[in-house]
Structure 1
Amino acid sequence: MILVREISKSFGSLSAVRNVSFELPTGQIAGLLGPNGAGKSTTIRMITGFLAPDKGSISIVGYDIQKNAQQAQSLIGYLPESAPIYPEMSVIGYLKHRAKLYQVPGRDIAPAIDKAMALTRITNVAKRRVGQLSKGYRQRVGLAAALVHNPQVLILDEPTNGLDPTQIHDTRSLIRELSQDRTTLVCSHILPEVERTCDRVIVMAGGQIRADGSPQDLINASPGPVRYIVEIRTNPSAGIDHALRILATIPGVAITKAAANQPQDAAKGWSIIEIEASPKENDLREAIAATADDNGLFIRELRKIVPTLETLFMQLVDTAPAQANLSTNTPSTAQGGDQ
C-alpha cells in the first residue's frame, strides 16, 4: 500500500505541492490526473523517493520513503514516461541488468526474468535487441523491467502514451491483470484511459487534490444541472417560444432555450431545445415526453446528456484557485499550492 500524509514541496517561492494526502490499498488501481503544472510529477518523484518533501511523510508497505529509503524503493516498480531502456541491448540482457540493479539474488535472476517476460508477454522477443522492437513492445519491456524484482507497488507514468489503439487495449488489460495483488498508481493525462483502467481517480490542479473517488462516483457527485436535448415540432404559427413555455412548466426544469444549431427542416416546425434540470438524480425524459404529447408537441429525438470524467476534469481545472475539493473517498484530504 501507499500512504501519503500532508506532503508539501516548494521550489523557491513556487509552491508545487502543499498538504497532499491519500492512501492506496493493495489491489487498487488509482489514476493521478491533472494538467501540466498540477503537481503530478512532483508528487510521483516524492513517492518514488527521488525528491524529498519539505514536510509530510510517505510510506510504502509500511516503510518510510525517507527513513527507510532502500527498503521502500525495493518494493516499488516504476515505469517512467520515457522508459530508460538501452536500444543496443537484447531484451533478456536488459532485464538481467535491471535485476542486478534491484539486487535480485543471482540464483533468482533467471526465474525472475522468465516470470516478468511471461507476465508482459514478451518471451517471444527475449533475444531481440530492444531498439528493433515496436513502441508497444518497448513499453512492455519497460514494464517487465519494473516487475523483475516482484514489487508490491507499481507506479506507471503515461503507460499508453504514443501507442496505437490495439497496443493501448493490450496495455490496459495487462495493467489490470498485474494489479490484482499489487497497489498501482497510474499517472496520465488521457482521461478515457484512466476511466477505463482505474478503480479510483485523484485529480490534481494547482498543487492540490481537487477530486478523489471512483470515476462514476465523482461524475455522480459533480456540481451542476443535468442537460437534455429535445428535437421537437411545434405549430409554425406558435413558434418555438410556445414549446419553451410548455416545457418550462415541468417540475425540476430550470432553463429551456433554443439550441444554436437547428435542423435543416426548421421551416416545417422542427426545433432543437436544450433543457437544464435539477436535481440531477431525477430522470425527466418521461415527464418531457408526456408533457409534449399532452400539448400537441411532437418529439423526434430526446436524449439525456450524461456527464463524463472529462467534463468534471475541465470544471475542476478551470476553477482550481477557488474550487472546493470534490471527494467521495474519505481517507483523502488535500489543500493546495500553485504550480
Structure 2
Amino acid sequence: MLTVEKLVKRFGPRVAADTVSFSLQPGEVLGFLGPNGAGKSTTMRMIAGRLEPDSGRVLVGKHDVATERRAAQRLIGYLPEGAPAYPSMTPRSFVEFCLRARGWSGREMALASAEALDRARLGDAAGQRIATLSKGYKRRAALAAAIAHDPLLLILDEPTDGLDPNQKDQVRALIRDMAADKAIIVSTHILEEVPAVCSRTIVIDKGRILADESPEEMAARTRTGRLDDAFRALTQTVPAEADAA
C-alpha cells in the first residue's frame, strides 16, 4: 500500500529527513516515534503529498505522489498535526465540504458524512460551530474528515492529542477497528499508545530511522522490557553518520 524510498528533506542546514525508506502493508498499524524535531511530521507531510521532498519518492498503491498526486491522495486520509479545520463551519459541514472537494455528492456524501461523524463520536457537537468546540472535539472533527472517504492509507499525526482518557480509548478502538483492511501510520508521543494499537514501530531521530521492529521487539532491547526505556536508549544514541549530516 505504501512504499517510501530514500526521502530527503532539508530546511537550510537542518536535515529533517535523511534517506528515509520503509514500506507498509494493509493490516499494519505503524507507530511513528521520535523526539520533538526528529522529522516525523515532515516525513508524514511528504507521504501525504503536502510537502515536496528534495529527493526520493513515495508510492501509494501504484501511484507516485509527486507525479500522480490526485490519484494517490484519493487513497489517503490525513490528520495533520494540530487538526486544522474552518472555525466557522460545524463538524458536519466541514466533513461534507471535504467530501465535496473529493467529488462526492448527494445521498452518498450524506451517508459517508454521517458514518464518519458517528465513528468519531461527535454526537451533538456535530452541529456546533468548530470555533466553539474544545480541543478534543476539534480533533474529532478533523479525524472524521480524514476517514469519511474510507481511505486505504491513513496518516494520523498525534490523533489523541487533547483528548480525555475515555476519548483516547475510543479513538484507539476506532484505529484497531479500521486496521483490518487499511495501512495506518500513527505518530504519537504517548508511548503507552503504541502497544495498544500498533503492530510495528519506527523510531526516527535527526531525520534518520534508528529502529524498525514490533513494539515487543523494541521493548526487549532493555533489561526492564519497557518501551519507554528502549525509546530513550535509542534516541540518546545517535549514529555518527547522523551527527556528520
- TM-score w.r.t. length of structure 1: 0.67
Q: The residue matched to 1:142 in structure 2 has which SS?
A: helix
Query: Cα distance, 1:105 vs. partner?
Result: 4.0
**What residue is the counterpart of 1:187 in the other structure?**
187
Q: Distance in 2 between matches of 1:133 and 1:16?
A: 33
Q: Distance in 1 between matches of 2:85 and 2:42?
A: 23
Q: The residue matched to 1:180 in structure 2 has which SS?
A: coil
**What residue is the counterpart of 1:209 in the other structure?**
209
**What residue is the counterpart of 1:42 in the other structure?**
42
Query: Cα distance, 1:208 vs. partner?
Result: 0.6
Q: Map Cα deviations across residues 250-293 of structure 1 (whole Å, 9 max, x no partner).
A: xxxxxxxxxxxxxxxxxxxxxxxxxxxxxxxxxxxxxxxxxxxx
Amino acid at match of 1:88: S
Q: Is structure 2 residue 2 aligned with structure 1 residue 2?
A: yes
Match of 1:313 among 225, 231, 244: 231
| TM-aligned CA distance change 1:21 to 1:125, over 3 Å | same
Between Structure 1 and Structure 2, the one with more helix by share is 2
Unaligned runs of 5+ in 1: 227-305, 323-334
- Residues 158 and 187 of structure 2 are in contact (CA less than 8 Å); yes or no, is this contact kept in structure 1? yes
Query: Cα distance, 1:201 vs. partner?
Result: 0.7
Q: Distance in 1 between matches of 2:173 and 2:89?
A: 27
- Residues 16 and 42 of structure 2 are in contact (CA less than 8 Å); yes or no, is this contact kept in structure 1? yes
- TM-score w.r.t. length of structure 2: 0.91
Amino acid at match of 1:216: E
Query: Cα distance, 1:144 vs. partner?
Result: 0.8
| TM-aligned CA distance change 1:170 to 1:107, over 3 Å | closer
**What residue is the counterpart of 1:84 in the other structure?**
84
Q: Distance in 2 between matches of 1:210 and 1:149?
A: 34
Q: Distance in 1 between matches of 2:122 and 2:161?
A: 19
Q: Map Cα deviations across residues 237-260 of structure 1 (whole Å, 9 max, x no partner).
A: xxxxxxxxxxxxxxxxxxxxxxxx
* Aligned Cα root-mean-square deviation (Å): 2.0
- Residues 85 and 142 of structure 1 are in contact (CA less than 8 Å); yes or no, is this contact kept in structure 2? yes
Give every structure 1 segment of 4 or more consecutive aligned residues whose post-TM-superposition deviation is greater than 4 Å. Answer: 335-339
Q: Distance in 2 between matches of 1:315 and 1:21?
A: 22
Query: Cα distance, 1:122 vs. partner?
Result: 2.8
Greater gyration radius:
1
Q: Map Cα deviations across residues 208-243 of structure 1 (whole Å, 9 max, x no partner).
A: 1101111001222x2x6x3xxxxxxxxxxxxxxxxx
**What residue is the counterpart of 2:18 in the other structure?**
18
- Residues 17 and 338 of structure 1 are in contact (CA less than 8 Å); yes or no, is this contact kept in structure 2? no
How many residues are paired up?
245
Q: Distance in 2 between matches of 1:118 and 1:47?
A: 27
Q: Distance in 1 between matches of 2:128 and 2:244?
A: 46
Q: Map Cα deviations across residues 55-105 of structure 1 (whole Å, 9 max, x no partner).
A: 211111221100101111121111112112233322221211111122224
| TM-aligned CA distance change 1:125 to 1:44, over 3 Å | same
